[in-house]
């Protein structure tokens, strides 16, 4: 799993670099050359979605997302574990529902072409959201199983 996370971080870094290049190209074309490029806006949107949802997989697995756990710190260890397990179950249920919704959106938007990117459909963007949702779901289940084993 560690290798998959390293690959995810590498892909995320590459996506950020490509997004930076696309935005820089857009600014140069619009401000300096005074030739607006509409495709850079749409491609930037797709890249941003990819960065957010694919990067979220790594954040979930490494527990790198923001957490406010002030109240948990005051609870006894046993109660803290129960609450953590309960929140993990809620997260798994929500990510399951999220992934199902992303699957429906992927299927329903698969053939809708993005006007400025004729080679890409909205389905691909929703596919990225689906991959991110399923990846976060799998990581959440792995974390939940590890927490259950520690609690036992």
Name the residue range of residue 142's domain: 2-151
Q: CA quadruple 132, 137, 141, 146: dihedral positive or negative?
A: positive
**CA 9-142-2 angle, 5° bins:** 30
Residue 63: pLDDT band by 50, 70, 90 thresholds?
A: confident
- Give the Cα separation of 110 and 51 in Å (integer): 20
pLDDT tens-digit map of 19-42: 999 999 999 999 999 888 889 999
**CA 131-50-55 angle, 5° bins:** 80
Q: Report the pLDDT value the prediction gives residue 152, as an integer from 0 to 100.
A: 67
Q: What is the pTM of this model?
A: 0.88
- Give the Cα separation of 44 and 50 in Å (integer): 10
pLDDT tens-digit map of 82-114: 898 999 999 999 999 999 999 999 999 999 998
7, 63 contact by CB (below 8 A): no
> C-alpha 128: how far from its chain's center?
8
- Give the Cα separation of 68 and 6 in Å (integer): 27
Structurally, the chain folds into a number of domains equal to: 1
CB atoms within 10 A of CB 33: 9
Residue 50, Cβ density class (10 Å: 0-12 exposed, 13-18 middle, ≥19 buried): buried
């Amino acid at each position: 799993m560690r290798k998959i996370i390293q690959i995810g971080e590498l892909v995320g870094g590459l996506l950020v670099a490509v997004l930076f290049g696309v935005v820089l190209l857009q600014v140069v074309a619009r401000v300096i050359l005074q030739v607006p490029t509409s495709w850079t806006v749409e491609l930037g949107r797709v890249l941003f979605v990819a960065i957010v949802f694919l990067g979220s997989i790594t954040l979930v697995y490494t527990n790198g997302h923001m957490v406010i756990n002030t109240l948990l710190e005051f609870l006894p260890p046993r109660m803290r574990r129960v609450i953590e397990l309960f929140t993990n179950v809620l997260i798994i249920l929500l990510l399951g529902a999220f992934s199902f919704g992303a699957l429906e959106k992927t299927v329903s938007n698969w053939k809708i072409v993005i006007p400025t990117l004729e080679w890409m459909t909205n389905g691909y963007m929703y596919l990225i959201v689906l991959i991110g949702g399923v990846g976060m779901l799998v990581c959440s289940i792995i974390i939940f199983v590890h927490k259950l084993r520690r609690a036992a």
